[in-house]
Structure 1
């Protein structure tokens, strides 16, 4: 059962920052490409810089086209994150989910220490948090009322799952 599909809230300052960062990286790549003909260390730096550019491009795709789908079946909470051709799907066993709650920590592009994972992966700082070996956050860009509705639906599924386990 699909619970919700969410998208990133876009801020102009973040897009400008991404564009400036990509321009700077392209400038560096051009310089290292020329230097790589003369020095192997510049070639190594070029490879590392290209790998970093892939991460920045992936983060830009996530920011511009990122979409998170939250679904639930009888035994699992299913989170699918898509950003262009990058996709990440995770399944959480309902029995192992603990301490499901609403957290008022919206995503902030400029707050590196809070939102740093959004720059290197398809993760985003969501407003629904739960414990599953470590704290997981889902629900990018959703309002408090919608988050609370989703929490109620997940908790109902948790209760139904526990009831099914007890009867079998």
Structure 2
């Protein structure tokens, strides 16, 4: 039997859904306008900048961005054309590829980061009180833990819960 949402649940769901879509859209537009960079590219550059020797396997990039390998490969091709990354063969696996953040890529990230952080502050961090921000972090972590567990279960069984 379907457990329909009550009025409070419906209000919370609709506000959450619309707020996340509007926030994502605003952050994407601000990043594109400030740095001519879509969020996927920014996320990849951040991951590479934080990795040892600014290098990661393509499969790791796909995992950490929750993307299909073909989507990551396409994005890396575009970043390579800009000179922001380069690919190298993985020494232990001739079929595997590493992606390396170049100095130009690091410079592009350093140019984009201040505008991205300013947009995050304006549209997410600053409108909240410190208590609301803590609550948002707690709620987000609960959802992340739940969804990550569900995703892992789905990978191992090939089915979602309830199927």
The alignment's TM-score, normalised by the length of structure 1, stands at 0.27
Structure with more of its chain in strand, by fraction: 1
Larger Rg: 1
Structure with more of its chain in helix, by fraction: 2
The alignment's TM-score, normalised by the length of structure 2, stands at 0.28
